[in-house]
Amino acid sequence: MTDVAAKPTDSLTVRDNRTGQEYEIAITDNTIAAKDLGQIRANEDDPGLATYDPGFVNTASCRSAVTYIDGDKGILEYRGYPIEQLAEKSTFLEVAYLLIHGDLPTKEQYENWVHEITYHTFVHENVKEFVQGFRYDAHPMGMLMASVGALSTFYPEAVNIHDADNRHMQMVRMIAKMPTLGAWSFRHAQGKPFVYPDNDLSYTENFLSMLFKMSESKYVADPRIAKALDVLLILHADHEQNCSTNAVRSVGSSQVDPYSAVAAGVGALFGPLHGGANEAVLRMLRRIGSKENIPAFIEGVKNGDERLMGFGHRVYKNYDPRAKLIKKACDDVFEVVGVNPLLEIAQELEKIALEDEYFVKRRLYPNVDFYSGLIYEALQFPPEMFTVLFAIGRTPGWLAQWNELITDKEQKIARPKQIYTGDRGLEFVAAEERWA
């Protein structure tokens, strides 16, 4: 038992029917410590009871003060602030400061923070050569993952993770350089020359400049586009202990530098089950083709012949609050670039699904991926760039979680147990005898 002072009502009584023995296990924050189950043994040689939880479906791996989610009520908060208020009233860099530092900045702190990040947007020229070394058809996420990992070789001091000032500098550098690396991977795939950062521009305006600037002396982004992109980055900034965040924390638990840890997060986000859902939504909408085909598609979903992409979430059992905000961003973007013809299909599909008892009963609501792909496509991003945009937005969250990990005295190097299912006690036979 970890908490002998726990009240009887704050404990769990477990009876082991193998032995008839009972155990009192403390309940703290509505959880029990997994190690407390280790005291439950059938005999002295028994290693003790463990939990089996593939995918961490019901296992808390850390204590965190960064992001709060109530999936049943559709609530998402960064450091206690509702995502709706941050998306409407804040900026991505202010949200990044909030996630990493835990508090909103003063005017002076914010100005210094923006200055630091703007100053560090440039990367070493050798990084440029590194990116240019990829094949013409290299996937932008593979390029981004490798480039982020490579930054650790340019900043060897980043291994001094217990120095708070050093950690701060590496986090500033990474937030600053991610748009540069992302934009260059985009330009490389198109065979276009790389555009250097413009420090006269805001964070999102600068990113758009590095993406789309051609022969003009100064790229001027439409403020509605810049704001919509800023909102999208805010909505993706953190999302509790998801797959990529868990990867950052797991790799970071070895006390490696933050570039290597975040590169692991980029790799996890590269997977289609994590970062590629919005591309799947676009494929689904194209396959439907028109509003008239939606009823047949819905029947196909019910019969198991089709998959409804962009609906449902492992955490949310209500309307994903980010999806509502992205719908508003859609309106702003399409006002500038014209309406994506798939939007009409998406809106009708959402309307029918939200009224259909089949989906209501299963609590399937639109998630953040349902509309985000439409915006990215409207901004002329190819599908392989969608996840790069996701990664740029998620970087402050990864770093906030990594920073929290480093300063958490309860954390240990990640080393989960396993249930061994293979053979044992086999006798080795030398190759010359096996092959005779």
> In this structure, which long-range contacts are made by residues 19-27, counting pairs with CB atoms below 8 Å and at least 24 apart in sequence?
25/1, 26/1, 26/2
Catalytic-labelled residue, pool 36, 257, 320, 369: 369
**Other CB atoms closer than 10 Å to residue 314's CB: what's the count?**
11
Query: What is the bridge-based pairing of β-strands 21-26 and 67-70?
Result: unpaired
Q: How many residues can be counted in the chain?
A: 436
Contact (CB, 8 A) for 96 and 175:
yes
Contact (CB, 8 A) for 397 and 265:
no
Torsion angle defined by CA atoms of residues 176, 180, 183 and 187, in that order, rounded to the nearest 10 degrees? 180
CA–CA dist 348, 297 (Å, integer): 12
313 tagged catalytic: yes
Greatest Cα pair distance in the chain:
80
HEC string of 61-107 equals CCCCCCEEEECCCCEEEECCEEHHHHHHHCCHHHHHHHHHHCCCCCH
CA–CA dist 233, 214 (Å, integer): 24
Catalytic-labelled residue, pool 188, 236, 239, 313: 313
H-helix or E-strand spanning residue 382: none
Catalytic residues: 313, 369
